[in-house]
Chain A
């Protein structure tokens, strides 16, 4: 312990914690700008190295902050400068490094560092190498901004920043129609959710008068509950978009158009968990409204199952992993919704490790397969790429939740929480999902690495990835194995600011059974996957493929199609209608119509000026006559009226 205290003192003396915070935050953007300057020039390997080192620097700084906090240091909160201030609204650029954000920072920078290094190899042949690094570092900056901000609007900056970078990176190969389409879809869907987020922020501002976390949370009890639940709902709508919860989930699968490191970093480890982070960060608000929490949990459970089912049948390796991510995010929301915030965070962390690993492995496979994604065209790859196979196997086991891999600890806790809160339906759903998860994870592993080498039919010559890429993945693999073992330290650390979840008394007695049951279904899933693949490659028979359920799953419950029919197309058609029929034919035509009406009055009465003197004179006389009539009417109005009345009666 002496050593620990020394270290603590060392860090504080050695370097100011706020400096550390700034280094952690800003070194990625420095890297991004450096890479951006060379954005349009040909590949320079140095860029990759510089940027990666800067991210690593950020990681070190985050680690420094982590140690500072871990050893009892005070929470670091800095205000860099004022940002927006108008009326009573005053929002600074303020950053906080507390237990939760530092955990996130650590995860983000760690995974980022690995992905950056990995990308040097992965992107080596791409002409947009420098640009890629610029985007990727910008993403890291935005993500850091998101997790470090000490107010809701700062969070929103990061929130939108990661959205922008996600747009840039999904559409990185902008010459591909599908990539740019997916990028726009992701951005717009996120924006729909952001609308909710903004409304939440508006509500917070008008009811709390501030957007700082600490001030808001301090006042939270003095605000009516219905307002709080509205805030919670709207904030959660924001979270739904970023974390791709149903019904805003379709973008995540399509986002797989981006380069695989991007998928690993953004669409597995970090950005998509921002929604979960928001729920954890605003736990004071969510804790007050258990009904909303219950809704979040239910939706999470539903998404977990829903995504897992889609993952069962998909043949695209990245999409399967993406659905799996979706499913795991569902788990996190269950935990968050049920008030077990630290568990949600814990699963977030472990999931980041093994899912990033899984994606990077998939990246290796793709690289080897010359960007082929269809797992049906792979098989037997373990022979050529043993390292990758091993890493992916570790990740899959972790994902399936097999003891003692990281996934086991976090996922099992969530099931326990569901059971403990007597939400047996949730538990059941999650339990079933656990089995499915195991199944599809191993289905991939089997189809890709085992079985016959189907790729030969397609004339592909796979090769193993660069050594340094594999080495870069190793830390993730190690963490995927061992992260779960640090559960207690983790609890101690984060519950300094997060509420502790207390299991009820009775649960301890049946906890053993629960673990058994869960592990059993996971193992069953694995077994089915392995066995079926051994007997029959491809797993699904043709008859099965014509099954309705298979079709339903294969077409993602037809949801993309429905969205296209119900939202996109009508929107486009309505826009056209508004422009061509309403704007041009009604609004504009009315204006022109008035002008034309005046003009045509002129044309039609032009004949009055016929140039004929007789007509002119007659006009004069008519004028006089009309005046005479009016004179009579004016002077004898009364008598004329009585006369008329007499006639009528």
Chain B
């Protein structure tokens, strides 16, 4: 019963805040709704006994990602009202239609009895420990790869935001002008 109430509450709130994210004409509202949605999702994670992920969700999303977005928003000065397209109606219909289709499809029984958990959740063991063991055995390689990926992202971010880019762009423009 508790689960049900919690689920419906969270679900409703998540949907509501994400709808605000994608429809609001105010960037600030949009971002705040995103942050709240993220937090609410972490609530769902806790509900689903995924404590570790719930925490990660909170830290990474609400902590890092949203902060990044906030800085970006300041940088781009997008606090003013956004201008969106007019032809929303047909897009809206399209999406609603697809959603209905997908929702209809998703009612199909997905669970199978044939499934045996490969990495079962151990009773009485903390979620974090459980995850840690799987992550550092089975998923060690992807984990390290993810590290490389983050490195790539970091290099990318640094390079793109770096001053060197501006400099050389200017150079080329000058060259072109003189020719």
Interface residues of A (CB under 8 A from B): 614, 618, 621-622, 624-625, 628-629, 631-632
Contacts and interface: CB of A to CB of B under 8 A. Distances in A.
Interface in B77-98: 85, 91, 94-95, 97-98
A629 B85 CA distance: 26
Contacts of A622: 94
A317 B110 CA distance: 111
A625 B94 contact: yes
Nearest to A632: B101
A631 B94 contact: no
Contact of A628 (B85, B91, B102): B102
By size class, the interface of chain B is 10 to 19
- Per DSSP, chain A at the interface is helix
- Per DSSP, chain B at the interface is helix
Nearest to B97: A625
Contacts of B74: none
A50 B146 CA distance: 108
A493 to B, nearest CB: 104
Contacts of B94: 621-622, 625
Contacts of A631: 105
Interface-centre pick from B98, B101, B105 (highest chain A CB count, 10 A):
B98
A629 B95 contact: no
Nearest to A626: B98
8 contacts: A621-B94, A625-B94, A625-B97, A628-B102, A629-B101, A631-B105, A632-B104, A632-B105
Contacts of A621: 94-95, 98
A278 B94 CA distance: 88
A431 to B, nearest CB: 100
Contacts of B91: 618
A628 B101 contact: yes
Given A614-B85, A618-B91, A624 B98 contact: yes
B92 to A, nearest CB: 12
A625 B98 contact: yes
A112 to B, nearest CB: 87
A622 B102 CA distance: 14
Contacts of B104: 632
A614 B104 CA distance: 27
Contacts of B101: 625, 628-629, 632
B95 to A, nearest CB: 7
A578 B171 CA distance: 66
A381 B98 CA distance: 112
Interface in B95-131: 95, 97-98, 101-102, 104-105
A624 B102 CA distance: 11
Nearest to A622: B94
B108 to A, nearest CB: 9
A621 B95 CA distance: 8
Contacts of A628: 98, 101-102, 105
Contacts of B105: 628, 631-632
A85 B105 CA distance: 79
Nearest to A624: B98
A631 B105 CA distance: 9
Nearest to B104: A632
A491 B142 CA distance: 118
Interface in B46-97: 85, 91, 94-95, 97
A629 B94 CA distance: 12
Contacts of B97: 625
A214 to B, nearest CB: 91
A634 to B, nearest CB: 12
A85 B104 CA distance: 81
